[in-house]
Structure 1
Amino acid sequence: MTKLSVNINKIATLRNARGGNNPDVIKTAIDCERFGAQGITVHPRPDERHIRYTDVIQLKNIVTTEFNIEGYPDDRYMKIIREVKPAQATLVPDAPDAITSNAGWDTLKNATLLRDICKEIKSLGVRVSVFVDPSPRMVEGAIALGADRIELYTEPYASEFLANKEVAVKPYIESARIAKEGGIGLNAGHDLDLHNLKFLKQSIPYLDEVSIGHALIADALYYGLENTIQLYLKQLKD
């Protein structure tokens, strides 16, 4: 079964826009799990424009499913991983001022950096996932790093989906096959929604996890959070 990890960054964005604690990020995480989510994802950026360090520390003590912390593996991020020891650390190549993730790692050019970081994170008992584009060479590079999983960057798939979904998913099927044959797990995320998620799951039935935030929270404005999570889980049923 493919797990749904809900990225709650946008909940924190809304809270921060007004100050105070409404909506409550911690309560939202608890409710997401209660409504069926099998994981909680956060991406604590250096400027704390959404998820804050204090949120991460509080979430450490209340997440009962899988806690996934995304981020660029600088000293700040690694300090968080050492302190929190989440279920999964997802390494992304974002610059500190990036609006959102917009590319995967070049796992060949950054092999030395990533190999050492993967080794340290795994020594903490934390699963490590490397964010990559749907490129066989980048997937092979991630396998060589000793990563436990890759997360395929799905924005190109989402952008092409309405025009030609078979063409859009083709590089993902190939990249997923290489990952599976290489013995590592497979996650996916970015711009997945209620329109394109089911076809991706059908095309890659052994997908371990999807991380979805922006679209899911936007849908919740119309459908409600509990109903929205159930709608997303329905797309992932085998």
Structure 2
Amino acid sequence: MRKITFLVVALCATMFANAAITLPLSEDFAVCDKGSATTTGSNMPEIGTATYPNPFAWATTLTKVYDAGGMIKFGASGATGSLVTDVISVTKDSVVIEFDAIGWSGTSDVNSKKITYGATTITIQTTPVEFPVTPEKLEHFKVVFAKEEGATLTIAGGGVKSRFFLDNLSITEKDKDSSVGVEIVKSAANVYGANGTIYGAENGRIYTITGMDVTEQNGRLNGVYVVKINGKVQKVMVR
């Protein structure tokens, strides 16, 4: 009996040890295909519930996070939205967090958002926009932290009412350089889809989620696509 108990405990310990995120991590939220961010009345089902289980193996806790059709929405009118990752396994000196995000110009919504890695919290400011929320409206953010052992990442609204949309999350690592600590870069996304066309992809290739090259069909697209430009990959939704 003691031997069996020991084996079970050892197996559980191994399972939990293997749960840590191995970098790089990239999430384009293409799996979020049940909602829409077209209007304020669009259906945005909450993720992480009995009817919509958490589809992200790397995320341990989702609080008031919603499917917004190829992206996720944080927060409700009276509740802060937040996402917590599993422990991030880091071998280099710095952890780099990048994502596209935009705020919503709802009544009394605050623009601040909090990015927490380990014991360090950085506050960013998103631009508020009105519906429809489309990929070309999102801005790109990059935050760099010095690594911590056993740390997780939390992304959350900066207040009780701080609704925002997020897409194209990536977590990578790099060796120590002059930017170790905190580096915030905010820039407008320059590849976006509208009216059946992906703009900004003139020097790249366009693929379906299953890998089919549909570059020549640009102008007649509808759905979620993967754009590859100069070795970089970005997911784009076209309506």
Larger radius of gyration: 2
Greater percentage in helix:
1
TM-score w.r.t. the length of structure 1 is: 0.34
TM-score by length of 2: 0.34
